[in-house]
Chain A
Amino acid sequence: MYETNYHRASSVPDAAATFAKGKESKFLAGGQTLLPVMKQRLAAPSDVIDLSKIQEMIGIEVSGDTVTIKAATPHYDVAQSEAVQKAIPALANLASMIGDPAVRYRGTIGGSLANNDPAADYPAAVLALGATIKTNKRAIAAGDFFKGLFSTALEDGEIITAVAFPVPAKAGYAKMRHPASRFALTGVFVARTKAGDVSAAATGASQSGVMRVPAIEQALKANWSPGALDSVTISANGLLADIHGSAEYRANLVKVMGQRAVAAAG
């Protein structure tokens, strides 16, 4: 790792101010992605601003039909939260499958979304549930947030403070783990709103990061059941291919994980 300056922010404004002072600042949340990248010397921030101890950024709130997860809340706390388990069990389940137990203690939802790894789990839930990403400057709809690999609508120095999830009627997540990294080789999150709208989002599959899967959405809108996807064909065009999965294999996984997500949703 290159030498850097570590700052522990006491509040969101303090974090933003410290960020602005650095030559090439980076926010550090759980650090479960940024620190490995820095260890490999693939990132060289002049300053890292630690958000993980900012009290206003930690916690989970449920009010009416919205679950709000503050950005520095670790995955473990989301997975364990009775409120989340009750309101959106699929979201708690997803959080319980991220990385490994040690990663779940440190990694945060805000860090995951800001990084937007194409194989991260949370983006699938955020996109499929139509969540709103709240920052220190504005609120961004999920559909406007993800901009391709490792790229988001966040501006330089903008801090995710919370993510608000509308509570769906039904939702489910199924994931085929990458055998080595334990990211998602392909994961699919499906949701049906109380109004009957269906959305499905896949992570790990596409060359351009998390994506909606219209074919699955249409089939499920007509018939919310795993069997409804039997006749769906997912195109391999534009999907990732590597030694762990060809594009055709990932296309198959989008469908199969979609079916299993629906089964899990009930």
Chain B
Amino acid sequence: MSTVKLTVNGRAVSVDVEDRTLLVHLLRENLNLTGTHVGCDTSQCGACVVHVDGRAVKSCTMLAGQAAGSNVTTIEGLAKGGELHPMQAAFRDNHGLQCGYCTPGMIMSAVDIVHRHGGKLDEETVRHELEGNICRCTGYHNIVKAVLDAAGRMKVAQAAE
């Protein structure tokens, strides 16, 4: 057992967990942040993607201890003050989700994709960049549309800041 201290969605937390605890389990079981999901056991599906120190990583492939001292953002921390993040809004407006299970990881990865590529995204790049996130419902068609749409919205939002 170890005490792991980290910041989650802007809040400092301290949690006692077994050393074998994965970050995703710390989030789901200890902090009740159940928006982050587990869809596989081979680190491929991406349902568990969160941001650790600004980078989109698979929280099922990281020990809680590895995240000690880090800043973690989960899907629950993305909307600011009740206002949807442009990526969340774009997923809704473009019907980029059906069952919703892969959606949190998909959105967290997508935000990271836009951060890395800025407004220079095209369909091919988005499809390639989504290779670490599996969706069984949408055929990705509307997810790709949503990411491209959000890239535009995020550019506008950034310009406004």
Contacts and interface: CB of A to CB of B under 8 A. Distances in A.
Q: Do chains A and B touch in the complex (CB under 8 A)?
A: yes
Interface of A: 1-6, 8, 28, 31-32, 35-36, 38-40, 48, 50, 52, 76, 99-103, 105-106, 181-182
Contact of A35 (B2, B63, B68, B109): B63
A106 B19 contact: no
Contacts of B62: 31, 35, 106
A40 B22 CA distance: 13
A23 to B, nearest CB: 14
A100 B61 contact: no
Contacts, number: 83
A57 to B, nearest CB: 15
A102 B49 contact: yes
Contacts of B22: 1, 35, 39
A36 B66 contact: no
B16 interface: no
B57 A8 contact: no
A36 B132 contact: no
Please report whether the interface of chain B is mostly helix, strand, loop or mixed according to DSSP.
mixed
Top 3 A-B residue pairs of the complex, sorted by shortest distance between their CB atoms: A100-B132, A6-B65, A6-B19
B59 to A, nearest CB: 9
Please report whether the interface of chain A is mostly helix, strand, loop or mixed according to DSSP.
mixed
Contact of B58 (A28, A40, A102): A102
Contact of B19 (A5, A36, A39, A101): A5
B68 A103 contact: no
Given A32-B43, A102-B61, 8 more contacts: A35-B62, A40-B42, A50-B66, A100-B46, A101-B109, A101-B113, A102-B58, A106-B57
B149 interface: no
A6 B2 CA distance: 9
